[in-house]
Chains A and B, each alone.
Chain A
Amino acid sequence: MGEHDRGAPRVTRAPCGPALETRSLTRRFGRRVVLDGIDLTVARGSVVGYLGPNGAGKTTTMRIALGLLRPSSGEVRLLGGGRPSQGATRARVGYLPGDFVAYPSMTATDYLSYLARLRPPFDARTTTTLCERLRLDPDRRIGTLSHGNRQKVGIVQAMMHAPDLLVLDEPTAGLDPLVQHEFLALLREARDRGAGVLLSSHVMSEVEAVADTVAIIRDGRLVAVDDVARLLATAGRRLELTFTDAVPLDALRTAQGVRHVDVTGRTASVEVTGSTADLLRRAAPHGIERLRTHEPDLAEVFASFYPPTGECR
């Protein structure tokens, strides 16, 4: 059968169905609803950035996906129908908890080979390569490592068995920029060999750099799931127009796609969605001295889903 096809890649199961799929996933702790009907899909060969403030439900989603928590209702399917409670399914998942803790008295080498025995296959070369690329000295006791270096141990253990699904809860916390860069390269490689990746992060630039899709969660509900590119396109772009004379406020306000105009002296700061053509056409006759545009980034998109907090100052 297919397993023995000449030249076929070594796969244990035909890749069908998404790497991770949740249906109406709901979780309550007492009366508090932490997850409320989450429908989230991580396709194979894709990276989904999972964004939300602390306490929004990201970690709970991930812990349910690994079978560490039980959902109150709804369900999770992994790698084409598997359940988190099945050991054979978990064997193909790599997981980095948000607060990764390893046995402090063990060296990284011992710890990694311990986990490898729980979760074969173990490829010593892959593990060594991962350690080298992340600049981790595997012979030191984990208890003597800095926070960032311990985090590297967590990343290596999540990736060393080349899993088909990676569930990573804030993986780059504590990593220096060089290692972060290398980590993102590792993620892209995992995606390119067909793994699905669910990645939660507070670092928007990192998600923007690596994610194909972004899912934004607020108070236990998904408020947006979309391509990164499309999200950015729909987000407001900011143009700063400095006029030779007074700002033609009415002309700017009535232009297509303009959401908001701020004026400081002869400079207007205009927020616009979609095409800027109509705005520029209307502004041009009034003499534009200088034009600056600010492309939106994911942080602005993300912020747009969250109202400013409270009224404290």
Chain B
Amino acid sequence: MTSGWAAVLARSLTDLRRPVAAWATGVSAIVLLESALWPTVRDMPRLDDLLAGYPEALTEAFGLDAMSTGPGFLEAELFSLVLPGLFIAFAVTWGTRTFAGEEESGALGPVLASPLSRAAVCTAKAAALLLALATLGLVVAVVTTVTSGIFGTGVGPARAAVGALALVLLGGELGLLALAVGAASGRRAVALATATVVAVGSYVLYVAALVVDALADVAAWTPYDQALRAGPLTPRVPGSFAWLVLVGGLVLLAALPALRRRDLRA
């Protein structure tokens, strides 16, 4: 049934064309604006004095101590909160909608009554989600690299690629969580709530651990920590990224037996 699997993937990608185009335009604009600000910030007199005046927690959370360098500035302004938030919002919204949402609306009924297995429908949709995120990631990497050349932020292709990969993997894990919970439960609200609680909870824990050292061991298990602790605009791929891939894959796999056994609402 590979042609059926490919058909669901193709159909989902067609569905994603417009949202991906819109989000790509949005994130490009944000990266462009922020990068364009860099020359002004760099030339600010007494920038370091200003930064030293911020509370320690804020400095830690947004990496403000590194803000006097180009990569540090972009990490603080974009890659530690805004872009991860956007990637997660995109992934969770779509992950929720593509299975549980379509099942609740009834549109998935004829698809699930087809010869294609439920697991195949689910994994094809997961593949579409990851491809969409990869496209957004590529856009971020390219725009970051190009604007670096223009505004001198000093983020080369390698750093931009790792930063974008962090966003893709973080969004990917939480998007797959939303998709998996939606597929296992058939309920959009449950999928959305679970992914949101995990995303917000893990962010809070990540930030708390930056201030309270005792939490560091626990926070190391959060997807935020695994994606962002190393920068993420570093020239080399951190080993912690493997956790994001592994957990995302396992979450999806774990949902499949439940999906196979349960009653469909479609």
Establish whether residues A117 and B113, one from each chain, have CB atoms under 8 Å apart when the complex forms: no
Give chain B interface residues in 60-106, CB to chain A under 8 Å.
Answer: 105-106
Q: A68-B263, A117-B3 are in contact. Are A91 and B110 (CB under 8 A)?
A: no
Contact of B264 among A69, A99, A154 (CB under 8 A): A69
Determine the chain A residues whose CB is within 8 A of the CB of B6 once the complex forms: 117
Give chain A interface residues in 62-119, CB to chain B under 8 Å.
Answer: 63, 66-70, 87-88, 90-91, 93, 95, 97, 99-103, 105, 114-115, 117-119
Determine the chain B residues whose CB is within 8 A of the CB of A154 once the complex forms: 110
Establish whether residues A90 and B114, one from each chain, have CB atoms under 8 Å apart when the complex forms: yes
B51 at interface, CB cutoff 8 A:
no
Establish whether residues B114 and A97, one from each chain, have CB atoms under 8 Å apart when the complex forms: no
Question: Which B residue's beta carbon lies closest to that of A92?
Answer: B115
Establish whether residues A101 and B105, one from each chain, have CB atoms under 8 Å apart when the complex forms: yes
Question: Which B residue's beta carbon lies closest to that of A119?
Answer: B114
Per the bound structure, the CA–CA distance linking A13 and B3 in Å amounts to 23
Establish whether residues B107 and A102, one from each chain, have CB atoms under 8 Å apart when the complex forms: yes
A55 at interface, CB cutoff 8 A:
no
Contact of A101 among B1, B106, B117 (CB under 8 A): B106
B11 at interface, CB cutoff 8 A:
yes
SS class, residues of chain A in contact with chain B: loop
User: Interface extent on A, as a size class?
Assistant: 20 to 34
Establish whether residues B106 and A100, one from each chain, have CB atoms under 8 Å apart when the complex forms: yes
Contact of B7 among A63, A66, A102, A117 (CB under 8 A): A117
Establish whether residues B266 and A68, one from each chain, have CB atoms under 8 Å apart when the complex forms: yes
Establish whether residues B107 and A101, one from each chain, have CB atoms under 8 Å apart when the complex forms: yes
Establish whether residues A68 and B116, one from each chain, have CB atoms under 8 Å apart when the complex forms: no
Determine the chain A residues whose CB is within 8 A of the CB of B113 once the complex forms: 66-68, 90, 93, 95, 97
Interface string of B110-139 (1 = CB under 8 A from A): 111111110000000000000000000000
Establish whether residues B115 and A91, one from each chain, have CB atoms under 8 Å apart when the complex forms: yes
B4 at interface, CB cutoff 8 A:
yes
Can you give 8 A-B contacts (C-beta < 8 A)? A88-B115, A101-B109, A102-B110, A115-B111, A117-B3, A118-B4, A118-B7, A120-B3
User: A residues engaging B (CB < 8 A)?
Assistant: 63, 66-70, 87-88, 90-91, 93, 95, 97, 99-103, 105, 114-115, 117-120, 154, 157
User: B residues engaging A (CB < 8 A)?
Assistant: 1, 3-4, 6-8, 11, 15, 105-107, 109-117, 261-264, 266
